[in-house]
Amino acid sequence: MTGGEASRVSTGDGVTSFRVEGAGPPLVLVHGLQVGQELFAELRPHLVSAFTVITYDQRDRGETAFAPVPYTTEDLADDLAALITALGFSRAHVLGTSFGGMVAQAFALRHPHRLDTLVLGATSQAPFRPERLAGPVAGLLGALEAGDDEKARALLARMAPTVASATGVGSRQGAPARNDALMRRFAATRAFDTRGRLAAIVARTLVVHGRDDAVVPIQDALSMAGEIAHADVLVLAGAGHAWENDQPARAASAIAAFLADTR
């Protein structure tokens, strides 16, 4: 499975949709909160000459199918470990961005023996907070924090044309199912917190951040790098939260060089 075709595989309690392309050491790309593996459409072509690049849809994204129940970033980290096993690899490089960076942190802490090198992009040790975000997403997170599911559902219904319909959830789902799926993903951010725990990560780590990121403060990147023993920082001038799309060639070149370094 190296031609980049979409496939599905059983992973624990569900079925994960994934794509494998390229040749070389395995590198898994872990997408963010609202989109699926298509997030890496710009970055992936710059990496496939050096790595076996694996992208996949997390729970409640794309064609991945799990029971519609609440879950945590730890559950998603276990899904990632199950996918790596199902594809026949014992270890892999892992790159996670935004919410995917939270999943990658959880993976590094829960499955250190499965991790070669870690890349954390546009992410944080702390839960996404409403006060950091703008517009309807901030309102949604605020409603979820307050436990006001009715308000959260109403906000999602209003957001559907601009957010829910662009989340990568399979077309087989109607709007109510899409909204419930997105609520589960937003809820998973509330329980996430690795502050004071990242010193346990022993893998070499590259922290990537766009200088113009308006979602996650750059201080979060510096804080993570300061806590991880073997961490380097790459700040991309002119890139925002979607650094993998803003500067894919430059980012991929730096990432490939970091992963190839055997210090």
Angle at which helices 135-145 and 149-159 cross, to 10°: 160
Phi and psi at 71, nearest 5°, equal -150, 170
CB 121, CB 30: distance < 8 Å: no
- The pTM of this model reads 0.87
The rounded average pLDDT for each run of 10 residues, N- to C-terminus, in the chain (263 residues) is: 77 92 98 92 97 97 92 97 97 98 98 98 85 61 72 65 38 53 85 95 98 90 97 97 96 98 71
What integer pLDDT is reported at residue 164 of this predicted model?
A: 38
Place of tokens 């605020």: 142
In the chain, which segments carry CATH 3.40.50.1820?
3-127+192-260
Distance CA 94, CA 96 (A): 7
CATH match for 3-127+192-260 among 1.10.150.570, 3.40.50.1820, 3.40.50.300, 3.90.1150.10: 3.40.50.1820
DSSP E strands in 105-219: the ranges are 115-121, 204-210
**What is the distance, to the nearest Å, from the Cα of residue 32 to the centroid of all Cα atoms in its chain?**
4
Interval 105-159: pLDDT, tens: 999 999 999 999 999 999 999 987 656 555 566 676 677 667 777 777 776 666 5
Interval 34-47: pLDDT, tens: 889 999 999 999 99
